[in-house]
Structure formats: structure tokens, C-alpha cells
Amino acid sequence: MLKPWRNRLNMSKNLNNPMYYLIIMYRNKEVIDKNLNLLREAILNGDSEAARNAALMLSEVETPIAKIINEAIKPAMDILGEKYERLEVFLPELVLAGEAAQEALKILLPKGGVQAFKGKIVIGTIYGDIHDIGKNIVSAILSANGYQIIDLGNDVHPTKFVEIAKAESANIIGISCLLTPSMFYMRDVVQRLIDENIRNKFYIIVGGAAISPEWAREIGADGWAKDAERAVKLCNLLMERGDKLEKPIIIGEWR
Ligand code: B12
């Protein structure tokens, strides 16, 4: 009686199989919960070595990356952001926290594409803004889901987005922004494409903590997604039937 189940599980030992996912979560619950806490604390304390150790344990027990980002990395960053606003921590603490998060992500983020080619994405953080942790997560997850990524880094001028997208014949331009004063440069990317009469050659997707779905609509972007997992859904939708759907496509809720 047990055999067919065992066979089925053996066939798809990957986290996309809901049954396998549940077994991993159940069997490793204690280790996962403990190390999610340790990772959160490590980032809050700006302790890169502790962050690395917790990440190694989480990776060892196959914790899904989305769970780690949503339950440890993002909450820790949000707490620090609030503390920064209340003047309870200062820039050096943010720098250390950022380094600790990046240390963990070096271990956790998937390396290289693993699926058939779905499209080419030019991505970067907009001009004036050097925040790149979220953009790096989005890039890595899109890459693991079949997208070829051309990562322009941070503080990217609007002209550069357009020039590289043209030169690379990209399908999608992805723009990240966490700094409110920089978000106006996103509009310039759209405007440049309109001025050159090539707006319909690229889909533009936007995201990052400073960017609301309303802003995506206002600047005439094609899509907004709350996080990396949803960015994959957004790109899949655009590539599969973007010409038929009403824009912008909004995936997830802002805050
Ligand atoms: C870490 C951090 C830093 C680090 C950045 C390190 C790095 N390499 O990125 C350092 C110390 C360098 C830094 C500097 C500054 N920071 Co800072 N920083 C933060 C902090 C605490 C966390 C940011 C982060 O990494 N979040 C975690 C990631 C995973 O989340 P995320 O970026 O939002 O990305 C997710 C989604 O948004 C989405 N996403 C992201 N990009 C994209 C793109 C697309 C296309 C899509 C679809 C989705 C998507 O998917 C991601 C994964 O889930 C935030 C507070 C916060 N709550 O965000 C402040 C914050 C962003 N910083 C702030 C400020 C003011 C600054 C400084 C100006 C401070 C100063 N006085 O110098 C400088 C900026 C300098 C500059 N020119 O850019 C403010 C911005 C306020 C505003 N709205 O304008 C914040 C909000 C803090 C605050 N509450 O005041 N910072």
C-alpha cells in the first residue's frame, strides 16, 4: 500500500512538489524556526558571521528561499528601517545589517538559470539610489526561473536602462527603487522610450519599498510586484499574454 506514495515522492524531491514541501517543513520545523530567529537577530545586530551560520543551517535543511526572505530578512530590515526613522539606530547600523543580509543571501540565493529560456530582462536600481539587496534577490529568483538577467547594478541613469535594453533586445526592463526622491527618474525611463517611439518594444516592471502600485500606474509602467516570487509571476504573465492584458498588472498588495 505504501509503495505508490513512496515512488511518487521519490520522483519529485523538490520544493515545488507540495507534498515534499510539507514533509520538509514538518520534519525540520524546529531547526527552521530556530535558524529563522537566529538569522533575524543576526541581521538586526549586524553580525555577518552569525547570519552566514544561520543561512548555512537553513540551506542545509532545504528551507524555501521565499520563507527565509519573508520571515527573516525582510522583517529584520523593516524593523531597522522603523528604528532608523525613530532615530534609535543610525547609518552605520544599517550598513552592518545590509552586509549581514548580503552575506546570508550569498549562500541562499539560487545560482544561475535552471529552466528553459523565457525572456531577457535588463534590471537595475534607479538613479540616485544605491539600495540593491531587494533588486539582487529579484534578479536571482528570476534567473532561477528561466530569465536571462542583465543586471546594471544600482544608481542607474534612465538613459542607460534604455540604451542597454535596446542593445540587448531585452523583453523586460525592471526598475527597483527604495528612495522616494529617486522614484521620479523612473518616469524618465518610460518617457525616453516614448520619445524614441519604442515604448511598445519593452515591458516595464517596477518595485521596491518606495514604489506603490499607484505610482506604477501613474508613470505608465506595465507591472508592479510586491516581491521576488510575485515578480516571476508578473514576468510570466507579461511574456505569455502581455499583449492581451490590461496594464499595469499588479501582483500582491502594497504594505
Ligand atoms: C539596508 C538599508 C540601507 C543600506 C543599503 C545596502 C544595500 N546594499 O542595499 C544602506 C546603509 C547603504 C542604506 C543607505 C541609505 N538609506 Co537605507 N535602508 C535600508 C533598509 C533598512 C533596508 C532595505 C532593504 O534591503 N530591504 C530588504 C529588501 C529585501 O526589500 P526591498 O528592497 O523592498 O525588496 C523587495 C521588494 O520591494 C521587491 N522589489 C525590490 N526591487 C524590485 C524591483 C522590481 C522590478 C520588482 C518587481 C520588485 C522589487 O522584491 C524584493 C524582495 O522581496 C531600508 C528600510 C526598509 N524597510 O526598506 C532603509 C531605507 C530604504 N533607507 C533610507 C534612507 C533615507 C537611506 C539613506 C538616504 C540614508 C542617508 N542619510 O544616507 C541612504 C541612501 C543613499 C542612496 N543614495 O541611496 C530610507 C528611505 C526613505 C525614503 N522612502 O526615501 C529607508 C526606508 C529607511 C527609513 N525608514 O527611513 N540603506
* Rg of the chain on CA atoms, in Å: 19
Mutation test residue for ligand 1: of 69, 85, 87, 131, the one with most atoms within 8 Å of CB? 131
Domain-wise residue ranges, the chain: 3-108, 119-251
The CB density around residue 69, as the number of other CB atoms within 10 Å, is 24
CB neighbour list of residue 178: distance below 8 Å, 6 or more residues apart: 125, 129, 131, 134, 208, 209, 210
- 86-107 pLDDT tens trace: 999 999 999 999 999 999 999 9
The CATH code of domain 3-108 reads 1.10.1240.10
Q: Is the pLDDT of residue 2 over 50?
A: no
Atom of ligand 1 nearest to the CA of 101: 25
- For the chain, percent of residues with pLDDT exceeding 70: 93
- 25-44 pLDDT tens trace: 777 888 999 999 999 999 99
- 103-152 pLDDT tens trace: 999 999 987 655 689 999 999 999 999 999 999 999 999 999 999 999 99
Residue nearest to atom 49 of ligand 1 (CA): 207
The CATH code of domain 119-251 reads 3.40.50.280
Q: What is the pLDDT of residue 17?
A: 77
Query: In the structure, which protein residues have their CB atom closer than 6 angstroms to any atom of ligand 1?
Result: 69, 73-74, 77-78, 80-81, 84-85, 91, 94-95, 97-98, 128-135, 137-138, 174-176, 178-180, 205-210, 225, 227-228, 231
Which residue would you say has higher pLDDT here, 20 or 248?
248
What's the gap in Å between 135 CA and the centre of ligand 1? 10
- 189-199 pLDDT tens trace: 999 999 999 99
